A = this chain, B = another copy of it.
Amino acid sequence: MGIRILIADDHKILREAITSLLNNEIGISVVAEAGDGRTAVQLARELQPDIVVMDIIMPNLNGIEATRQIVRELPHTKVLMLSEQSDRRCVCEALRAGAAGFVPKRCGFDELVTAIRNLAANHTYLSSEITGAVVDEYIHRRPDQDNSAYSVLTGREREVLQLIAEGMSTKKIAKELHLSVKTIEWHRSQLMKKVHLKSVAELVKYAISEGLTCVSV
């Protein structure tokens, strides 16, 4: 059998390349690929892989939220973050969301394999490049919560915010999430109240500054 892996990254060429290399490794097989977070969650549900290798920046649903949903539903599936962002905030949010490991993309392939084998052995794995950031977070822990999106908004609210900031209408979001339009409206008004913003334009800027979406259209 070996370690069954799902890869989620919006760069197809990276997915394919890593898949190909991982399939050469003994005892590791990639069972599926996903190009966005929502697809990743669905595929994880269907295939129940041992490990999900997950990018953070993805359309439709970002890697943090996807991780949150996966670890809640599938306790036996571990998530390994493979991200280009490796700042303190990203790392800590990923761990808080339930990721069992974190490797920045600037690391080599060997380290990815090491991380995968560690996670498969029920260990957590943090790349040496980022452990500093985590320690820093635990030492300088702010007693009062900052007002970042991850502390004031709920999961659903962040999810809706991302889709709004990606240009979707309320109707489309409802269809995408299989919910009523009224529900989306409620979440939208809730999150607008929470962050004290009154227009879509301000929401978009907020989402960009929080890393929920990127500037390029």
Interfacial residues, chain A to chain B (CB-CB below 8 A): 10-14, 16-18, 20-21, 35, 82, 84-85, 87, 105-109, 111-112, 164-169, 197-206, 208-209, 215-217
Once the chains bind, are A12 and B167 in contact (CB under 8 Å)?
no
A199 touches B12 (CB 8 A): no
Q: Which chain B residues lie closer than 8 Å to A20 at the CB level? A: 17, 20-21, 109
User: Which residues of B have CB within 8 Å of A198?
Assistant: 167
**A201–B87 contact, CB under 8 A?**
no
A40 to chain B, nearest CB (A): 16
The one of B17, B106, B111 in contact with A10, judged by C-beta atoms closer than 8 angstroms, is: B106
Chain B residue nearest to A110 in the complex (CB): B16
A207–B84 Cα distance when bound, in Å, is 20
Whether the Cβ atoms of A12 and B208 lie closer than 8 Å is: no
CB within 8 A of A17: which of B18, B87, B167, B217? B18
Q: Who on chain B is nearest to A204 by CB?
A: B204
* A164 close to B201 (CB less than 8 A): yes
A117–chain B nearest beta-carbon distance, Å: 16
Residue of B nearest to A165 (CB): B201
